[in-house]
Chain A
Amino acid sequence: MQTVQINLNGRDVVVNEDLSILEAAKANGIRIPSLCNHTDQDVKANCRVCVVEVEGVRNLVASCSTKVAEGMKIRTDSPRVRSAVRTVVELILADHPQECLTCIRNGTCELQELSQRLGISNVRGRKRHDKLPIDDSTNVLVRDPNKCIKCGRCVEACNNIQQVGILFTHYRSTDVQITPEYGKSLSEVACVLCGQCVLACPVGAIYEKDNTAEVWDVIGDPKKHVVVQVAPAVRVSIAEEFGMPPGSISTLKMFSALRMLGFDRVFDTNFSADLTIMEEGNELLHRIQNGGVLPMITSCSPGWIKYIEHYYPEMLPHVSSCKSPQQMFGAVAKTYYAEKSGVPAEDICVVSIMPCTAKKYEAARPEMNDSGFQDVDIVLTTREFGRMIKQAGIEFDDLPDSEPDSPLGKSTGAAALFGATGGVMEAALRTVYEVVTGETLEKMEFEDVRGFEGIKSASVNLAGQNVNVAVSHGLSNAKQMMEMIKSGEGDYTFIEVMCCPGGCIGGGGQPYGTTTDIRKKRIESIYEVDRNMPIRKSHENPEIKEIYEYFLIAPLGEKSHKLLHTKYTDRKNLTAK
């Protein structure tokens, strides 16, 4: 690594020559304000909030897009810089609705923070009067173009990271708008509702449809028996909503919080993740033994499912017919649990807490009603869950530990892995290995399918037979994977695909500020949760054994087929509901 000496506000410092001025300043204790800059994205240099003065250069330069150089003299604090930055921020604010108090990003908005940091007390300049229509056409995302500051972060997320290509900056000059083509609503285009744009947005221009009020309503309704499930990824991220460091594990505090919020039963999606492994593992074996369509591809990620329905419908026979853990949970909650607890299914309300925005879409799919009712009633993201805890005045840090309820609460380390890329694969392999070989798996970690690489592959010896598997996360990698399969490349038997980078821990419903580094910390915590579980294989979960013994009878059995498996829709025709 080569270094250079620069002068930063009169101070000589030595920095890595590859750094931008912005990064070099940060490494030396100076946080240059910025908006369009995002650590996981290409440099855009759109917002011009990060301009600084470089000696010998006539104009100010954007510190995000300018690399340091030997002898460079930089000022981040000169009157010229201060005046320009202030004016730029005022220009943005003049075009921005001043509705901070009632905005969903109140307190988490990067523009608000910037305005506060710069001490802006008066926005000079004329406001814009025309109000653009808000897109709330889906039950998942809301797009408010009035709040958009045209930083392009969502465009980058949609087109570079996910390569779905729904959001682009259309038109030019003051007409610039970030929308689907022809200003269409998200329900009219092939958006998969992954919510990565939401994570990227610095302001409140695109956000999840908030369902917390509905949850408060059902909790307060004495006729309703409200049960809640929490996804594996939420336990390693919810603490961030309360200022705890990324990757903090708060599984047992989380269950206490749910009880205090007033849910009648606190269950765990990890239970149904184990159930998924039982069904999906057996489906895989069934396909292998009966000449079924291979490779089989996982089906837990609703963003991924919507993606393949829109963009690769011809590949749908590869997708496992298993419902996702969220939907399996809903289906057994309103049948098995109803039966066991004596609560009529029509009185049960299933709420789920997910790291995901697309789960809201999945729960509302018309086919997801095999229990005779809508299987999952309301889906909240991790962020909405955080909001409820705050609204209830619960001090999250001080919460005691508590365990989830029976009979849908027990889970294994394998289930926890579902939160991270490669996790479903690893969990499935643990069970499939033992079912096929009849031997006990000694080393449970499949290192080859771990890590942050976009596409990972491994070869597993199952009773003398080598089985090739592959894992991808983020839709750009999923796309590459589909093209590989279509071209006959890679002789895979089983493939895990997750819609979001890093898997569910990087989902579109996770706390704001999610970056690759934070994703990696959450993944480490997922592995820690797995390591600390007394049981680490799905088929050894006692509640799973129980549900098969008394209710489902056998994986892929008649009841399983009815409740736990589903069919997909060709959505090449975009408007297909």
Chain B
Amino acid sequence: MGITNIYNIIEPKDMNKNALLQILLSVQDADPRNYVSEENINQIAQMLNVSRSRVYTTASFYSEISLKPRGFHLIRVCSNAPCENDGKAEILKTIEKTLGITIGETTKDEFFTLESVNCLGACYMSPAIKIDDQVYGNLTPKETIGILKNIMEADKHE
């Protein structure tokens, strides 16, 4: 399910074709499932007076825009060479095992989505992952489990 009223998050004056990318990002941010729904694509097209396909072509180009519902927390595993050389595969395996999902999947409880990212710009602390807006570097599998557990614990208390 998407946002029913896009005007709640974007002022009408900012609703123009040139702002499409920012509109898509705002809509995604406001969506509880952290994605842009088909319903939203259609609404945006109607508001901007452009075709749905025109909105979709922009949305589908960018890897930070998701067209599928995602989990509450977004885990990104950096796949750049420094991280790969320093044990990315192990970190990834650890996350996959801990959460029971692989890249591109969301846990059944909709808590976590696991994605791959090309470079987090954190090569000085490889291997690195990013969970939501926080980057974690110089990781070991053990630390990774700890981080995931902490997040799960914190969410329980909320």
Q: Are the CB atoms of A189 and B61 closer together than 8 Å?
A: no
Q: Are the CB atoms of B56 and A165 closer together than 8 Å?
A: no
List the B side residues contacting A165 at CB < 8 Å: 50-51, 53-54
Q: B50-87, CB under 8 A of A: which get 1 and which 0?
A: 11111111001100000100000000000000000000
Q: Are the CB atoms of A182 and B54 closer together than 8 Å?
A: no
Q: Are the CB atoms of B57 and A182 closer together than 8 Å?
A: no
Of residues B41, B52, B61, B67, which shows the largest number of chain A Cβ atoms within 10 Å of its Cβ? B52
**Cα(A164)–Cα(B50), bound, Å:** 9
**Cα(A457)–Cα(B61), bound, Å:** 42
Q: Are the CB atoms of A181 and B56 closer together than 8 Å?
A: yes
Of residues A164, A168, A169, A172, which shows the largest number of chain B Cβ atoms within 10 Å of its Cβ? A168
Q: Are the CB atoms of A171 and B61 closer together than 8 Å?
A: yes
> A409 in the interface, Cβ–Cβ < 8 Å?
no
Of residues A166, A170, A180, which shows the largest number of chain B Cβ atoms within 10 Å of its Cβ? A170
List the A side residues contacting B52 at CB < 8 Å: 180-181, 189
**Cα(A167)–Cα(B54), bound, Å:** 8
List the B side residues contacting A170 at CB < 8 Å: 53, 56-57, 60-61
**Cα(A275)–Cα(B83), bound, Å:** 76
Min CB–CB distance B147 → chain A (angstroms): 31
Please report whether the interface of chain B is mostly helix, strand, loop or mixed according to DSSP: helix
List the A side residues contacting B57 at CB < 8 Å: 168-170, 181
Min CB–CB distance A165 → chain B (angstroms): 3
Q: Are the CB atoms of A182 and B38 closer together than 8 Å?
A: yes
Q: Are the CB atoms of A181 and B61 closer together than 8 Å?
A: no
Please report whether the interface of chain A is mostly helix, strand, loop or mixed according to DSSP: loop
Considering the complex of A and B, which 9 residue pairs feature the smallest CB-CB distances, nearest first? A165-B51, A181-B56, A168-B57, A170-B60, A181-B53, A168-B53, A181-B52, A171-B60, A165-B54
**Cα(A159)–Cα(B38), bound, Å:** 21
For this complex, 16 residue pairs linking A to B, each with C-beta atoms less than 8 Å apart, are A164-B51, A165-B50, A165-B51, A166-B51, A168-B54, A168-B57, A169-B57, A171-B60, A180-B52, A181-B41, A181-B56, A181-B57, A182-B56, A182-B67, A189-B52, A189-B53
List the A side residues contacting B38 at CB < 8 Å: 182
Q: Are the CB atoms of B56 and A168 closer together than 8 Å?
A: yes
Q: Which residue of A lies closest to B51 (CB)?
A: A165
Q: Given A181-B56, A182-B38, A182-B56, verify A172-B61 contact (CB < 8 Å).
A: yes
**Cα(A165)–Cα(B48), bound, Å:** 13
Min CB–CB distance B59 → chain A (angstroms): 9
Of residues B41, B50, B53, which shows the largest number of chain A Cβ atoms within 10 Å of its Cβ? B53
List the B side residues contacting A171 at CB < 8 Å: 60-61
**Cα(A190)–Cα(B61), bound, Å:** 22
**Cα(A491)–Cα(B60), bound, Å:** 43
List the B side residues contacting A166 at CB < 8 Å: 51, 53
Chain A interface residues toward B at CB < 8 A: 159, 164-172, 180-182, 189-190
**Cα(A169)–Cα(B54), bound, Å:** 9
List the B side residues contacting A190 at CB < 8 Å: 51
List the A side residues contacting B60 at CB < 8 Å: 170-172
**Cα(A170)–Cα(B58), bound, Å:** 8
List the B side residues contacting A167 at CB < 8 Å: 53
Q: B26-65, CB under 8 A of A: which get 1 and which 0?
A: 0000000000001001000000001111111100110000
List the A side residues contacting B61 at CB < 8 Å: 170-172
**Cα(A172)–Cα(B56), bound, Å:** 12
**Cα(A182)–Cα(B37), bound, Å:** 11
Q: Which residue of A lies closest to B58 (CB)?
A: A168
Q: Which residue of B lies closest to A158 (CB)?
A: B53
Min CB–CB distance B29 → chain A (angstroms): 21
**Cα(A80)–Cα(B25), bound, Å:** 44
**Cα(A166)–Cα(B56), bound, Å:** 11
List the B side residues contacting A172 at CB < 8 Å: 60-61
Min CB–CB distance A170 → chain B (angstroms): 4
List the A side residues contacting B53 at CB < 8 Å: 165-168, 170, 180-181, 189
Min CB–CB distance B151 → chain A (angstroms): 31
**Cα(A159)–Cα(B67), bound, Å:** 23
Of residues A169, A180, A181, which shows the largest number of chain B Cβ atoms within 10 Å of its Cβ? A181
Q: Which residue of A lies closest to B54 (CB)?
A: A165
Min CB–CB distance A571 → chain B (angstroms): 14
List the B side residues contacting A180 at CB < 8 Å: 52-53
List the A side residues contacting B67 at CB < 8 Å: 182
Of residues B41, B60, B67, which shows the largest number of chain A Cβ atoms within 10 Å of its Cβ? B60
List the A side residues contacting B41 at CB < 8 Å: 181
Q: Which residue of A lies closest to B55 (CB)?
A: A181
Min CB–CB distance A312 → chain B (angstroms): 12
Min CB–CB distance A184 → chain B (angstroms): 9
**Cα(A574)–Cα(B42), bound, Å:** 11
**Cα(A155)–Cα(B75), bound, Å:** 36
**Cα(A254)–Cα(B91), bound, Å:** 73
- With A159-B54, A164-B51 already in contact, 14 other A-B pairs whose C-beta atoms are closer than 8 Å: A165-B50, A166-B53, A167-B53, A168-B53, A168-B56, A168-B57, A170-B60, A170-B61, A171-B61, A172-B60, A181-B52, A181-B55, A182-B67, A189-B53
**Cα(A351)–Cα(B44), bound, Å:** 43
**Cα(A181)–Cα(B56), bound, Å:** 6
Q: Which residue of A lies closest to B60 (CB)?
A: A170
**Cα(A168)–Cα(B56), bound, Å:** 9
**Cα(A171)–Cα(B56), bound, Å:** 9
Min CB–CB distance B128 → chain A (angstroms): 24
Min CB–CB distance B49 → chain A (angstroms): 10
**Cα(A189)–Cα(B41), bound, Å:** 14
**Cα(A165)–Cα(B53), bound, Å:** 6
**Cα(A168)–Cα(B60), bound, Å:** 11
List the A side residues contacting B51 at CB < 8 Å: 164-166, 190
**Cα(A39)–Cα(B60), bound, Å:** 30
**Cα(A168)–Cα(B67), bound, Å:** 17
**Cα(A181)–Cα(B61), bound, Å:** 12
Q: Which residue of B lies closest to A177 (CB)?
A: B60
**Cα(A159)–Cα(B56), bound, Å:** 14
Q: Which residue of B lies closest to A190 (CB)?
A: B51
**Cα(A164)–Cα(B60), bound, Å:** 19
Min CB–CB distance A11 → chain B (angstroms): 43
**Cα(A168)–Cα(B57), bound, Å:** 6
Min CB–CB distance A324 → chain B (angstroms): 26
Min CB–CB distance B43 → chain A (angstroms): 13
Min CB–CB distance B85 → chain A (angstroms): 24
Q: Which residue of B lies closest to A574 (CB)?
A: B52
**Cα(A169)–Cα(B57), bound, Å:** 6
**Cα(A167)–Cα(B38), bound, Å:** 17
**Cα(A172)–Cα(B64), bound, Å:** 13
Min CB–CB distance B51 → chain A (angstroms): 3
